[in-house]
């Protein structure tokens, strides 16, 4: 198979100033797929000149740290002259997620203007094409299967599985289950805490899995205490900027552009 690359734009939980919000891109020979996009992720993509690159985005569930950047992604469709570019295709695993997504995002994005200055009420469909289903097929990438997982009560949530590349990602999940056969690289939500009310798995829970699973598993969606998380026995922790390249037989981990979201003091002119 052709190589599949995976780049992480953020790897933290909802409130993590250093790691940003969990979001990654998959790409092969064609257009990339962006998986989840918070406002923070969208700003990082825009600052790197990457925001308008994405024509396909997967939303795994409707928590704000996974969807809020859709506004910026949609607004990037409209250039300064008011002309509208082709819509971004939004993928969800279920109709329930799409219905919730439209109900949340449309009121925030409805006030728009034509290129002659006339106001109009924009619909979700003016910005985005809708695609619902548990398999995603994009040119240049192998089939991407969505697997439903258990997260917050009453909410649909998905992780991804790319069997041809040997890639598996848990998505936001409290579930602890063995990896599919022939997985070469895995990523698991490890935000915790380890309580009966948890909506995320934690490291102690994941340690009950087979050693062979954990040694190819990177931890992500970590909280403010991410530095203190003991990743012994796992492949490591994901940081923003990490790139993984899979060829169906294994993976390479490129840390050349790893970074932390940070604040820098400024005392210049204003």
* pLDDT band at residue 33 using 50, 70 and 90 as cut-offs: very high
Check residue 244 and give its pLDDT: 98
Q: Is residue 69 assigned to a domain?
A: yes
* pLDDT band at residue 79 using 50, 70 and 90 as cut-offs: low
C-beta pairs of 18-22 under 8 Å, 24+ apart in sequence = 18/226, 18/260, 18/261, 18/262, 19/222, 19/226, 19/239, 19/240, 19/260, 19/261, 20/44, 20/240, 20/261, 21/65, 21/66, 22/65, 22/66, 22/172, 22/220, 22/221
Q: How many CB atoms lie within 10 A of CB 104?
A: 15
Q: Is residue 24 assigned to a domain?
A: yes
Does the pLDDT at position 23 exceed 90? yes
Query: Coil, helix or strand for 91?
Result: strand
Check residue 1 and give its pLDDT: 63
The DSSP letter of residue 86 is P
Average pLDDT on 4-17 reads 94
Check residue 91 and give its pLDDT: 98
Average pLDDT, the chain: 92
Q: Does an H or E element contain 185, and which?
A: strand 185-189
* pLDDT band at residue 143 using 50, 70 and 90 as cut-offs: very high
Q: Is residue 141 assigned to a domain?
A: yes
Q: Specify the CATH number for the domain of residue 161.
A: 3.60.15.10
Does the pLDDT at position 105 exceed 90? yes
Check residue 12 and give its pLDDT: 96
Q: Is residue 20 assigned to a domain?
A: yes
What token pair was written down for 58? 């997967």
Q: Is residue 270 assigned to a domain?
A: no
* pLDDT band at residue 145 using 50, 70 and 90 as cut-offs: very high
Q: Is residue 37 assigned to a domain?
A: yes
Which tens digit of pLDDT belongs to each residue from 159-198? 999 999 999 999 999 999 999 999 999 999 998 777 777 8
Which tens digit of pLDDT belongs to each residue from 204-260? 999 999 999 999 999 999 999 999 999 999 999 999 999 999 998 899 999 999 998
* pLDDT band at residue 81 using 50, 70 and 90 as cut-offs: low
* pLDDT band at residue 48 using 50, 70 and 90 as cut-offs: confident
If one counts the domains in the chain, the total is 1
Look at residues 47, 85, 89 and name the one whose alpha carbon lies nearest to residue 70: 89
Q: Which domain holds residue 27?
A: 4-253
Q: Is residue 109 assigned to a domain?
A: yes
DSSP string, 96-162: HHHHHHHHHHHHHH-EEE-TTS-EEE--HHHHEEEEESSEE--TTS--EEEEE---STT---EEEEE
């Amino acid at each position: 198979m052709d190589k599949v690359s995976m780049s992480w734009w953020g790897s933290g939980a909802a409130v993590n100033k250093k790691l940003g919000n969990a979001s990654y891109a998959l790409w092969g020979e064609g257009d990339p797929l962006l998986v989840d996009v918070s406002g923070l992720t969208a700003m990082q993509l825009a600052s790197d000149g990457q925001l308008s690159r994405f024509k396909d985005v997967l939303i795994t569930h409707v928590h704000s740290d996974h969807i809020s950047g859709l506004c910026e992604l949609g607004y990037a469709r409209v250039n300064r002259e008011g002309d509208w570019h082709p819509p971004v295709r939004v993928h969800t695993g279920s109709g329930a997620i799409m219905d919730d997504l439209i109900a949340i995002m449309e009121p925030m994005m409805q006030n728009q203007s034509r290129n002659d200055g006339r106001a109009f009420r924009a619909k979700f469909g003016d910005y985005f094409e809708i695609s619902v289903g548990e398999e995603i097929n994009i040119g240049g990438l192998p089939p991407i299967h969505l697997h439903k997982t258990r997260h917050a009560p009453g909410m649909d949530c998905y992780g991804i599985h790319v069997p041809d590349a040997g890639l598996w990602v848990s998505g936001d999940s409290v579930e602890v289950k063995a990896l599919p056969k022939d997985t070469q690289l895995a990523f698991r939500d490890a935000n915790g805490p380890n309580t009966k009310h948890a909506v995320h798995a934690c490291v102690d829970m994941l340690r009950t899995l087979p050693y062979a699973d954990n040694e190819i598993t990177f931890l992500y969606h970590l909280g403010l205490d991410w530095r203190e998380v003991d990743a012994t026995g796992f492949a490591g922790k994901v940081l923003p900027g990490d790139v993984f390249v899979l060829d169906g037989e294994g993976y390479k981990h490129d840390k050349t552009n790893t970074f932390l979201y940070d604040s820098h003091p400024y005392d210049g002119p204003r």
